[in-house]
Amino acid sequence: MQQQEIHDFLLTYFNANDCEILENTPAHLTVQLTIEMDKELMNRPFYWHYLEKTGGIPNPAKITFITNPEQAPPDLKGEMIHFGSPRLHQIIQSTKKLAGYTRLFENTTQSKGGNNPLYPWLTMNVKISYQCDRKKDTFMSIGLNLISGEIMEGFHHRVLPVKVTPKIPDYSYTLSPLIMPKSGLARLDTYIRRSFEGDDHSWAEEAILRWQNDLNLLEHFYKDMDEKSDSYYTEKEALKAQYEPNIRISIINGGLFYLSDRALG
């Protein structure tokens, strides 16, 4: 991830959370936090607790992020932000927390005498991780039309260009779903699980071979021992934790989108 992308990310994040941007150069960003954002990011519950008890004047923090240290003024004090910095990851976590669920309506341009039906779509963005002693992930975004039952892959990127709004626009109305959200979730779940069934799972077979190999060594090591010691069982547990193949599905976010029939092209 490029430094410029990180800079843009921070800018969007703080704008979306109503924080005033005090300075914005290509090299750095100074932000006045709101009280809510101070509580979210600065990790000082005692301060806020004290303030609320004593009724003092709140003084939320100002932070300077340096996104390009080469161009930044040398005397500038601030936090260096890069892909590995804990602050960036904290903000990513916060973003996920604040935007785990959404419901949006297509902002249709008025037509046909102002009678625009919007179809309900249920969507989920997920990360699928193959995990043993190693790990790799894939990203998947799917949407389910709650009327037709159609499932669309790559949903997120198709919905990105659509203009959406949190309030239902005038002259639009939503169609009632035929599939209830609960069973919709179940359909998506089944779809996700099927999606990797046919995948190449040699990674898991190889992990099991490595596991078996180490288990054999372990048995051999303790074979002269009639009563196996605790360390034998601990080690056996450790090998399981190390090698056992696992597929983990984690949901990044998702929600309901009400879209016109032309929206997704």
Nearer to another protein, 10 or 63 (CB): 10
Least gap, CB of 125 to another protein (angstroms): 5
Query: Is residue 84 a contact point for another protein (CB under 8 A)?
Result: yes
Residue type, 92: I
State the maximum Cα–Cα separation within the chain, in Å, rounded to a whole number. Answer: 87
For residue 33, the minimal CB distance to another protein (Å) is 16
Give the containing element (helix H, strand E) for 156.
helix 155-159
Closest distance between another protein and the C-beta of residue 156, in Å? Answer: 6
How far apart are alpha carbons 142 and 265 in whole angstroms? 16
Query: Facing residues of 135 across strands?
Result: 131
Q: For residues 132 and 241, what is the distance between their CA atoms, to the nearest angstrom?
A: 8
Distance between CA 132 and CA 239 in Å, rounded?
A: 11
111: left (phi over 0), alpha (psi -120 to 50) or beta: beta
Q: Which is nearer to another protein, 116 or 123 (CB)?
A: 123
- Helix or strand holding residue 4 (H, E): helix 3-16
Q: Token pair of 97, please?
A: 């927390």
Secondary structure (3-state) at 11: helix
Compute the least distance from the CB of residue 211 to another protein, in Å.
9
Residues 153-172 that bind another protein (CB under 8 A): 156, 160, 164, 166
Q: 13, 48, 171, 191: which one contacts another protein (CB under 8 A)? A: 13
Question: Least separation, in Å, of the C-beta of 23 and another protein?
Answer: 21
Please select the residue that binds another protein; options are 15, 59, 109, 115, rule is CB under 8 A.
15
Instruction: Give the footprint of another protein on residues 20-79 (CB under 8 A).
Output: none
CB of 231 to another protein, least distance (A): 5
Nearest distance in Å: CB 237, another protein: 6
Number of amino acids touching another protein (CB under 8 A): 83
For another protein, the closer of residues 35 and 92 by Cβ is 92
CA dihedral sign of residues 100, 105, 106, 109: negative
Please state, in angstroms and as integers, the Cα–Cα distance from residue 173 to each residue in 44, 116, 150, following that order.
45, 6, 21
In angstroms, the CA 164 to CA 258 distance is 9
Binding residues among 119-158 for another protein as defined by CB under 8 A: 125, 127, 129-131, 133-139, 141, 156
Q: Among 32, 34, 68, 95, which residue interacts with another protein (rule: CB under 8 A)?
A: 95
Residue 98 vs 152, nearer CB to another protein: 98
In the range 212-251, which residues lie near another protein by CB under 8 A? 214, 216-224, 230-231, 234-235, 237-238, 241-251
Which residues between 183 and 202 bind another protein (CB under 8 A)? Answer: 185, 189, 193, 201
Angle at 206 between CA 201 and CA 212, to 5 degrees: 130
